[in-house]
Amino acid sequence: MLNLDLSNVAQFLPGGWRTGQEPGLRKAHDYVLGGTGAGGEYTGWVRLPADYDREEFDRIQKAAAKIRSDSKALVVIGIGGSYLGARAVIETLTSNNYNLTHKDGPAVYFAGNGLSADAMNEVIELVKDVDFSVNVISKSGTTTEPAVAFRIFKALLEEKYGKEGAKGRIYATTDAKRGALKGLADKEGYETFVVPDAVGGRYSVLTAVGLLPIAAAGVDIDALMSGAREEMELLAKPGMDNPAWQYAAARHALYDAGKRIEILAGYEPSFRFFGEWWKQLFGESEGKQGKGLFPASVEFTADLHSMGQYIQQGERLMIETVVRFDTARSKITIPDDPENVDGLNFLSGRSLGFVAEQAMRGTILAHVDGGVPNILLTAPARDERSLGGLIYFFEFACGLSGYLLEVNPFDQPGVEAYKNNMYALLGKPGYEAQKAALEKRLDS
């Protein structure tokens, strides 16, 4: 379904680089499929497109239909993997201006992913005078950013609809059995969906974590899962003809050759947030023990007029992965100008898509000539099936890549450092000694 082109990689690597990666990839493949490597208890996403809970999936669709019928807005509260995947899918498949362009169903606002009072108040202003619902997503219910946001929007709902009316507008996606949010949801009678124990946040977009807000935005989640399942079946077959093996092998060989940054580039503005999801996926999975490619993302052609200079002639530390959609959804023809003021009449009658395609092809060649290895990944169309496949492709390749680096691709121990410091400085009980030590450092 996806087409991977590595023709602009080989010239940067020694001969035999593919076969040199094969033993490590075979081991990594077994770890991912069998759940036998480090973090194997979090490989529940591997078979998810085929083995997902059908009963919950049906409830997700019914809840989404209810939200679409009774709400002009949906506030999705979550941080990291609890919101990035949903936002990436919604915007990629609709528009980065979804809340302005959607014709039916609710606007979708994301909160609880930061601590800006201005941003929070903006969402409050956008929803307070319309019918709205809340989907709070947190496995524990105690993560600071989403927990604070949920307090605020829960109070707003209860003030607007009363406690009884509010509970029918709150959907909690959380642990199946335990945690603060699960306890509150059971007590108050919120409809609940499950954050699976065996699926980490950055791999959770194809669970209720991502699927409820995605379905509420009108996306066909059956087709999304179907595309992921097709890719799952393809990538389950070991061997160097496996596209995920090829991508992971190229990344790892280039890393061994001294590359330190991977840029994900897309040519659709709606793809920008997919890049944000991709950055978390690879950054949180590989960035350990002083290892890993630093993931960055750009939107072309816009960023060619800002980041383009550095990509072309800056330090030669980067590789570039370009995602291209083969079929455009719409067409614009460039008109003729009798005066030809801009000198562009050679493009008269051409489609804008044709111009974009040549811009992409020319950019790839320029960057390769400038010393940037280039990987091109083509999806058939900007639709649910293609995007489901693209999500699964990157998830699988990321698992392989982590094991090639000999790190655990499914934990994130470094994330706790900032949390512990924040808890101490906020005065959370049990952090008194750490608070005093940190304040002394800050005062000095």
Q: Which tens digits make up the pLDDT trace of 136-156?
A: 999 999 899 999 999 999 999
State how far Cα 310 lies from the chain centre.
25
pLDDT higher at 435 or 147: 147
Q: Would you say residue 343 has pLDDT above 80?
A: yes
Helices (H), 328-383: 352-369
**84-122 pLDDT, tens per residue?**
999 999 999 999 999 999 988 999 999 999 999 999 999
pLDDT score of 440 more than 90: no
Nearby residues of 318 by Cβ (< 8 Å), 6 or more positions away: 259, 260, 261, 262, 263, 296, 311, 372
* Neighbouring C-beta atoms of residue 127, cutoff 10 Å: 25
pLDDT band of 416, cuts 50, 70, 90: confident
Region 200-229: mean pLDDT is: 98
Dump pLDDT digits (tens) for 54-71.
999 999 999 999 999 999
Report the alpha-carbon distance of residue 104 to residue 117 in Å, rounded.
29
- Sheet of 107-111, strands arranged across: 107-111, 73-77, 132-137, 170-174, 191-194
pLDDT value for 301: 96
pLDDT tens digits for 263-284?
999 999 999 999 999 999 999 9
Q: How far apart are CA 373 and CA 317, in angstroms?
A: 10
- pTM here is 0.95
Residue 162: the pLDDT is 97
User: pLDDT tens digit string along 179-212?
Assistant: 999 999 999 999 999 999 999 999 999 999 999 9
* Catalytic center residues: 284, 305, 419
End-to-end alpha carbon distance in the chain: 58
Burial of 129 (0-12, 13-18, 19+ CB in 10 A): exposed
SS3 304: helix
Helix (H, G, I), strand (E, B) or coil at 63: helix
Q: What is the pLDDT of residue 427?
A: 83
